[in-house]
């Protein structure tokens, strides 16, 4: 009988990826060559690729080196503007190249007259040589038995060739500026999403003269400690999904009191996991799968990230509550497989254990009693960070960030990981030239929503928040809730 292994933490944006093209070595000056970026299930993208060689330890500039994969997506004009857009993704631990491949249409308006620069942060994607470890199949960073998680963490550490303390945000922003210098860019614009907003802000703190504009999508304020509040905001997002269903006659009639249904289902499978016969997609053979509360928690949390997947949650919960677990199992296996491929476990740990876990306030777990995730996030962090070496962070890393740069902040009203309040907190920290846009009913990561790509392009083009007409966001309605597998119809 099989059971998914999960460890819950992080700010993930789920999407399927696969490692692709090999980088091209460079000398004293950056040498780019034509390449193809490849991701499973997505058409290839031609780019200009190179490797930027940086010191593994910035404090030992003549010591061991580390290779960073860099891809430049050329503008659609022959003479692009000199200030490209640097894209930084989240996780921590995702590949920026793979994020771009999944969401490249989002950046098409900006790419009309500017190059796009993609850098896989050290320890991620194509910049992970010597900093990788094997994980069990379908490992999705959700929940695992404490002993198993401790063993996996220890085994991962033993497999690493590099010091985990050298894979923090403080080191990564120095890498990014090395890439800028190699590219010969005087200033660039920056887009960061989720954890990438932390990187973008710390780069702005360290190298303010090299930044023209900043877009922060799913904002992590510089002062925030990730982890302690995530269960609370995940519960709040789920409650709003249930409230939305209750306010719709057809949804309420179809699914009833979803909050009560969910709580009852969670209690039942916590007390008595259910064995379900499933067919292995690889072998075609039937096998038994033990459905635990971990399946329900994992699917609920990750499906809450987007209004598109959140539209399926009431149906998934309803089916499982009525003894039909096939939909829950299918979605759980899909997202766990995607997540295992998309997140670097060691890089994620290096960031969180250095930048968040040491700052976690004692006693915060008492606020989780009513959250469906409970204390699973902080429990997992305690297990992992109890073993993981703690890297150095800059002394001012957690200080409020003051800046007069043009900054566009994007938040989803129903974001379970980085609620819109975080955007307001970042502005209050000292952004004097900022505009905060909130998508009604939307989740984590606003860039793909409706008119947002055009709003981002207008902001970058003008390098100003004045004149940005965000009225179009009101027309970006959330996905209607599915009443059946056929869709939201009657």
Task: Give the pLDDT of residue 29.
Answer: 62
Percent share of the chain, pLDDT over 70: 89
Residue 141's pLDDT band, with cuts at 50, 70 and 90, is low
Domains and CATH numbers, the chain: 1-490 (3.40.50.1820)
Q: Is the pLDDT of residue 15 over 80?
A: no
Q: Is the pLDDT of residue 166 over 50?
A: yes
Question: Helix 376-385 vs helix 146-159: angle between axes, to the nearest 10 degrees?
Answer: 40
- Residue 331's pLDDT is what? 86
pLDDT score, position 19: 27
Write out pLDDT tens, residues 53-76. Answer: 999 999 999 999 999 999 999 999
Under the banding of pLDDT at 50, 70 and 90, the label for residue 148 is confident
pLDDT above 70 for 11: no
Q: Is the pLDDT of residue 462 over 50?
A: yes
Closest CA to 178 of 266, 284, 67, 100: 67
- Identify the pLDDT of residue 138: 59
d(CA 23, CA 106): 25
What mean pLDDT value characterizes the chain? 88
> Where is average pLDDT lowest: 41-45, 299-303, 347-351?
41-45
**How confident is the model over 362-385, as a mean pLDDT?**
78
Q: How many CB atoms lie within 10 A of CB 324?
A: 12
| Per-residue model confidence (pLDDT) at position 358 | 86
CB 198 within 8 A of CB 399: no
Residues 6+ apart with CB under 8 A from 444: 11, 13, 194, 218, 305, 306, 412, 415, 416, 417, 418
- Predicted confidence band of residue 17 (pLDDT cuts 50, 70, 90): very low
State pLDDT tens for residues 298-307: 899 999 999 9
Q: How long, in residues, is the chain?
A: 490
Do residues 297 and 468 lie in contact, with contact meaning Cβ atoms separated by under 8 Å?
A: no
Instruction: Give the residue with greater pLDDT, 10 vs 168.
Output: 168
């Amino acid at each position: 009988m099989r059971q998914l292994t999960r460890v819950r933490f992080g700010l993930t944006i789920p999407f399927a990826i696969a490692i692709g093209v090999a980088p091209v070595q460079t000398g004293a000056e950056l040498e780019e060559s034509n390449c193809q970026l490849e991701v499973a299930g997505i058409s290839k993208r031609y780019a200009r690729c190179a490797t930027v060689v940086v010191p593994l330890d910035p404090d030992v500039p003549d010591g061991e080196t580390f290779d960073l994969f860099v891809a430049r997506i050329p503008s659609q004009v022959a003479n692009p503007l000199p200030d490209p857009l640097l894209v930084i993704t989240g996780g921590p631990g995702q590949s920026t190249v793979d994020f771009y491949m999944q969401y490249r249409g989002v950046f098409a308006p900006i790419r009309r007259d500017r190059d796009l620069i993609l850098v896989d942060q050290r320890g991620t994607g194509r910049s992970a040589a010597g900093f990788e470890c094997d994980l069990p199949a379908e490992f999705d960073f959700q929940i695992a038995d404490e002993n198993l998680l401790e063993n996996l963490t220890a085994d991962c550490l033993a497999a690493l060739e590099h010091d985990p303390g050298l894979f923090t945000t403080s080191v990564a922003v120095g890498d990014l500026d090395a890439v800028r210098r190699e590219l010969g860019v005087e200033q660039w614009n920056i887009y960061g999403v989720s954890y990438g907003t932390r990187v973008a802000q710390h780069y702005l703190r360290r190298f303010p003269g090299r930044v023209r504009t900043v877009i922060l999508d799913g904002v992590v304020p510089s002062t925030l400690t990730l982890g302690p509040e995530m269960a609370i905001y995940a519960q709040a997002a789920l409650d709003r999904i249930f409230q939305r269903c209750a306010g719709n006659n057809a949804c309420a009639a179809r699914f009833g009191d979803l909050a009560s249904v969910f709580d009852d289902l969670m209690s039942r499978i916590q007390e008595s996991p259910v064995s379900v016969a499933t067919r292995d997609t690889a072998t075609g053979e039937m096998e038994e799968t033990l459905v635990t509360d971990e399946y329900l928690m994992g699917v609920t949390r990750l499906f809450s990230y987007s209004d598109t997947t959140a539209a399926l949650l009431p149906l998934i919960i309803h089916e499982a509550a009525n003894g039909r677990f096939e939909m829950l199992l299918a979605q759980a296996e899909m997202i766990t497989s995607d997540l295992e491929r998309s997140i670097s476990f060691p890089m994620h740990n290096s960031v969180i254990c250095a930048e968040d876990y040491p700052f976690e306030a004692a006693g915060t777990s008492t606020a989780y009693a009513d959250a469906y995730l409970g204390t699973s996030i902080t429990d997992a962090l305690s297990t992992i960070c109890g073993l993981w070496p703690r890297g150095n962070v800059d002394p001012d890393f957690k200080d409020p960030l003051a800046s007069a740069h043009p900054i566009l902040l994007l938040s989803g009203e129903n974001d379970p990981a980085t609620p819109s309040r975080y955007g307001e907190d970042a502005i209050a920290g000292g952004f004097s030239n900022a505009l905060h846009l909130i998508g009604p009913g939307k989740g984590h990561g606003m860039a793909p929503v409706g008119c947002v790509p055009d709003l981002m392009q207008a902001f970058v083009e003008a390098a100003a928040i004045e004149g940005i007409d965000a009225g179009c966001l009101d027309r970006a309605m959330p996905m209607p809730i599915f009443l059946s597998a056929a869709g939201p119809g009657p």
